[in-house]
Amino acid sequence: MNTSEWSAGENSPLLLMRFEPQVLTEEFGIVFTEDVDELGPLKLAVLERSFGTMGLVRYVDSSMRGTAVYVDEAADLELAHRAVVSEFGLTGQDISWAARTAGLLNAVRDNARLREVLASFGFDVSRAGVRGTASIESGLPLEPLAGDFAGGRFYLCGDAEWERQVLYASAEGQAGLIASSLREALQLVIGLPSWQDCLTCAGGVRIDLTADAAEASELLSLDLPPQDVLLNRLHAAVARSAPEFVFRDETGEYEGLDGSSLPETSPKTGGHVGYGRREASGTIQ
C-alpha cells in the first residue's frame, strides 16, 4: 500500500515501542517517509505483513517517545502483537503501551468467572484495596491490582498509558517486581502457582497444573510458557527491582523478594538494617 493511501485514523493502535524511526531504519532497514495529517507532521512506514497492513508512525511533535504500530481494524490483535514482537525482538521493557494489555485488564476486572478462577491462584482483584500509603523509590504511581490469601498485594507500576510492570508486596515485608507486564504476571500466577516458593529455585521446576489453569488461560486467550521460562522471567524481574522499585508504606521500606536486605544505611531513614521491613524510625520489624 502507498503511504499516501494510509491513515492512522482508519486503523487501530496495536502498541507503542520505544524504538525511534532512526533506530528502526538502522537496525531493520525500514524506510520512513515524511507526511502530515490532522494531528501534525509525522514519519511513516507502511508495511504488508501476514496479519495485514502495518503502519509505523512517529508524530514529530509528540512528547511520547518511540514509534506507534497501527494495524487494520479487522486484524487479530493477538496474532499481530506476536508477529511484531517477534519481528523486532521486543521485550516487555521495549513496549510502552499495548492494546492487548489494556483489554486484558478489562477482562480480568469485568469477567466474574475469570475473577473467581484467578482468586484460586492467589490473584484476587476483590482484595485490591489498600490501607495507608504505598510508594516506590522511582516515584512512579502505583495502582493496586489484586491481593492474595496472605494479605500480599499486586501493583501496576507507572502511568496507565504505558505498558506497566507488576510489583508484589507481601504481608511479611518483602517486595519487588515479578513481571514486565500484566500479561506476564498472569502467566506467572497461573502457570507457576507456587511462584513465591520458587524464588530461590535455580531451575528444573515442575508443578502439575489443574483444570483451573487451563480454564483461566482459555478465558484470557493466554498461552502458558514452560515453567522454566516463567521462573527465569521471575528471577530477572526480582533482580532489577532495586533501587528504582524499592517499596515502602507507612511501616517503612521492604526488603527484596529474594530476601536481600536494604543497604546498611539509608539517607531516608538512617539506622542499621537486618531482615524484614525497615520502620520509619530505623528499627526493624
pLDDT the model gives residue 4: 65
| Grid cell for residue 196 | 513465591
pLDDT of residue 266 exceeding 60: no
Which of 99, 27, 21 minimizes the C-alpha distance to 67? 21
Q: CA separation (Å) from 165 to 24, 179, 223, 242? A: 24, 6, 19, 14
- Tell me, rounded to whole angstroms, the distance of Cα 187 from its chain centroid: 11
Q: How much is the pLDDT for 267? A: 36
pLDDT at 8: 74
pLDDT of 127 above 70:
yes
Q: Average pLDDT for residues 119-134, to the nearest whole number? A: 89
Percentage of the chain lying above the pLDDT 90 cut? 54
Cell numbers representing residue 62 in the block: 509528540
CA distance 285 to 262: 13
User: Taking residues 260-284, what's their average pLDDT?
Assistant: 41
Residue 64 has pLDDT above 90, yes or no: no
Read off the pLDDT of residues 142-178 as tens digits, 9 standing for 90 and up.
Answer: 999 999 999 999 999 987 766 789 999 999 999 999 9
Please tell me the predicted confidence (pLDDT) of residue 284.
Answer: 31
Confidence at residue 216, expressed as pLDDT on a 0 to 100 scale: 93
Q: Which long-range contacts (CB under 8 A, 24 or more apart) does 46-55 make?
A: 46/1, 46/2, 46/3, 46/6, 48/1, 49/80, 49/83, 49/87, 50/83, 51/75, 51/76, 51/79, 51/80, 51/83, 52/80, 53/1, 53/6, 53/11, 54/14, 54/80, 54/84, 55/6, 55/8, 55/11
Strands (E), 60-160: 67-71, 95-98, 134-136, 142-147, 153-157
**Predicted structure pTM score:** 0.67
Mean per-residue pLDDT for 95-110?
Answer: 78
> For the residues 44-71, what does the mean pLDDT come to?
92
One-letter identity of residue 174: Q
273 or 156: which leads in pLDDT: 156
Q: What residues contact residue 198 under an 8 Å CB cut-off, 6+ apart?
A: 192, 205, 231, 234
What does the alpha-carbon distance between residue 20 and residue 208 come to, in Å, rounded to a whole number?
43
What pLDDT was estimated at residue 282?
Answer: 36
Name the residue with cell 493502535.
Answer: 13
Q: Where are the domains of the chain?
A: 3-90, 103-256
pLDDT at 270: 36
